[in-house]
Amino acid sequence: MQPSVTPSIVRIFENDIEIGSIPKELYLNIQKSAYKDWGLYLFQALNILWLTFKWFLKSALLIPVLWFICALLFALIDQSEITKFLSIIQTNSPLENTTLFVTSSFLTFIFCLMATFITMTTMGFNNFGYINKFDQKIHRIIRSFLEVPTMGAITIKFEN
């Protein structure tokens, strides 16, 4: 007697509730068709550009907050540093003050860029508006195939 060969299946869960299963071959064909759609590559590139713009915008908006926190800490911890800083500004020429301001702004912006990038990578890009257009299309096709009307989070699990 030959052992029965069970085809590989893909179980589909929506909001942690199993809504159905499809053969693995069908899922792979759906995936291939999604990756053949060149329009999705354009949408994905625009999505990444928008995410990058939001990253720079959040970093730029953090600069005044960071300066306020630093000034507050100096005022609370070491008031003599504020006096030294103000005397340096008074004795410097306008060109030196401008150079100091531009340099400190640039360094603060770089620091804020790194801080927001670390935050985005640890929290996940999805929290900042990243949408994987390929997965979105695959999930849309699976929903229409299984006739699932809801729009919850889909999880796909491969089984043998």
Hey, where are the domains in the chain? 9-159
pTM of the model: 0.65
pLDDT > 90: percent of the chain: 23
Scored b (16 or more CB within 10 A) or e, 82-114 reads eeeeeeeeeeeeeeeeeeeeeeeeeebbeebbe
What pLDDT score does 76 carry?
86
Give the pLDDT band of residue 61 (cuts 50, 70, 90). confident
Q: Which helix (H) or strand (E) holds 132?
A: none
Give dist(CA 158, CA 76) in Å, integer. 58
- Residue 22's beta-bridge partner residues? 10
Query: What are the phi and psi torsion angles at 34 (to 5°)?
Result: -70, -40
SS3 for 62-112, per residue?
HHHHHHHHHHHHHHHHCHHHHHHHHHHHHHCCHHHHHHHHHHHHHHHHHHH
Q: What is the pLDDT of residues 98-148, one digit of tens each?
A: 999 999 889 988 988 888 888 877 777 766 778 888 988 998 888 888 888
What pLDDT score does 57 carry?
87
